[in-house]
Structure 1
Amino acid sequence: MLSVSRFEKTIHVEEFTPSVIEPSFGIGRVMYSLFEHNFKTREGDEQRTYLALPPIIAPYKCSVLPLSNNAELLPFISQISRDLLNFDISHKVDSSSGSIGRRYARTDAISIPYGITVDFDTLKEPHSATLRERDTMKQIRAPISELAEIVRDLAQQRRTWDNILSSYPVFEQQESTK
């Protein structure tokens, strides 16, 4: 059975909790907020700035930087690039003629968290290269065959940079020159 009744009820306060948040601002404020919290300056050098996006959201996870345009280094650059692609790691190869410091600064400015440098020590057996972390600027030396896996683990937050520093030798300077 169904009964319908009509009545009037006076309500003085009606509370409403929205289930959807509709922000009233555009992408400009979101971008400003991202830059505000992630644009940093190196201590002691105000001209060295970098964008410190977390690796998980950085557009490029890694850069590959040959120390010189020497033809002997090209196979190693190709191998590292292939390995990174096999692990689905977005990366950028910068083989421009600038100094390694300027190339590091360029990659830091576009928020690339890790940089692999192929130098003349890479030519020695066993083949290895340096891996640099953007925020601390510390470097390790690791076998080429392990670099892509290390970058993937760091970018996906499976391992921390401190864990990597304790697992591989810290790189201070190049041992040989050519």
Structure 2
Amino acid sequence: VDLKANYKFDHPRDMEFVECKINKGKLGPAFKKEAGAVIEALNEMTDKQKLEMDAAINENGVYELKVCTGARYNITREMAKVKTVTKRVQEVPFIPSVIEPAFGVGRIIYTILEHTFRSREMEDQELRCYLSLPPVVAPTKVSVLPISSNPTQFKPTMHKITDALKEHGISYKVDDSGQAIGKRYARTDEIGIPFGITIDFQSLNDDTVTLRERDSMSQIRLPIADVAELVYRLCSDRMTWEQAAEKYPKFDAQHA
């Protein structure tokens, strides 16, 4: 495969080139069946190598040519003559020092999605698919899910939580639709959101919420004042879910 590219000049230029004129009539009888390999090696020489060969022949009458197989051949002036010529050229060939591969960010993202795709069977329910994106990679870190879409009951608490998430620089998604909480969990799992904050009726009484982990579907209960900081620590690899589960009480709810 020819890996050379051509650099085109705006105007023709006079450039010096080193040529090696090969005398096949002398090479053939001298090297017989190996003459082809010798000719190929001579043709692949750089200008610097050609000049070195010419200097060696001028000084010693012979140049020792080494080919890729490791074999060595003595080249004389009768077999190859080197001369410098001037040519007017419009372009010159070169081998790029940097080759840009066709591997962009799109393929990297596709690979991440493929390697994090999961599915699980739920009791008496259809197969559910989800993306097990690590929290540090997931574009949306947490979902905020009021158990009810009643604005008068849950909106103030929801705004309190989202304001705290903003202060910590945490990306979030609010799903306050009227669908069942289980279906909303499934929707956020499908797009790889690692954590879910659920605001339920107990939240109105004691200012606590539940925090759900996507892969295990387990939940803990904690004060609203702690939830943004905890999500931040979980998403920045400063704390594991297991450590969080040891710190806060487990919330027993039917997996949804």
Letter in 2 for 1:134: R
Q: Output aligned runs, 1:144-155, within 5 Å.
A: 144-155=224-235
Q: State the match for 1:167 in structure 2.
A: 247
Q: State the match for 2:198 in structure 1.
A: 117
For the residues of structure 2 that align with 1:156 and 1:61, how far apart are their CA atoms?
10
Q: How far off its partner does 1:35 sit?
A: 2.6
- Residue 176 (structure 2) pairs with residue 95 (structure 1): yes
Equivalent of 1:108, from 162, 182, 189? 189
**Structure 2 unmatched ranges of 5 or more:** 1-50, 54-63, 69-95
For the residues of structure 2 that align with 1:35 and 1:157, how far apart are their CA atoms?
20
Q: How far off its partner does 1:27 sit?
A: 5.5
- Residue 133 (structure 2) pairs with residue 53 (structure 1): yes
Q: How far off its partner does 1:74 sit?
A: 1.1
Any conservation in 1 of the 2:144–2:172 contact (CA below 8 Å)? yes
For the residues of structure 1 that align with 2:214 and 2:118, how far apart are their CA atoms?
11
Kindly indicate which of the two structures has a greater share of residues assigned to helix: 2
**Structure 1 unmatched ranges of 5 or more:** 1-5
Q: 1:88 to 1:26 in 2, by over 3 A?
A: closer
Q: How far off its partner does 1:128 sit?
A: 0.2
Aligned residue pairs total 164
Any conservation in 1 of the 2:116–2:133 contact (CA below 8 Å)? yes
Q: Output aligned runs, 1:10-25, within 5 Å.
A: 12=67, 22-25=100-103
SS at match of 2:52: coil
For the residues of structure 1 that align with 2:222 and 2:67, how far apart are their CA atoms?
71
Letter in 2 for 1:122: S
Q: State the match for 2:114 in structure 1.
A: 36
Q: State the match for 1:3 in structure 2.
A: none
Q: State the match for 1:72 in structure 2.
A: 153
SS at match of 1:115: strand
For the residues of structure 2 that align with 1:60 and 1:41, how far apart are their CA atoms?
20
Q: How far off its partner does 1:72 sit?
A: 1.5
Q: How far off its partner does 1:31 sit?
A: 4.0
For the residues of structure 1 that align with 2:204 and 2:216, how far apart are their CA atoms?
27
Higher relative contact order (CA 8 A, sep 6+): 1
Normalized against structure 1, the TM-score is what?
0.83
- Residue 217 (structure 2) pairs with residue 137 (structure 1): yes
Q: 1:128 to 1:11 in 2, by over 3 A?
A: farther
Q: 1:165 to 1:27 in 2, by over 3 A?
A: same
Kindly indicate which of the two structures has a greater share of residues assigned to strand: 2
Q: 1:165 to 1:21 in 2, by over 3 A?
A: farther
> Highest Rg: 1 or 2?
2
For the residues of structure 2 that align with 1:21 and 1:108, how far apart are their CA atoms?
40
Q: How far off its partner does 1:57 sit?
A: 1.2
Letter in 2 for 1:38: T
Two-structure CA RMSD over aligned residues (Å): 2.4
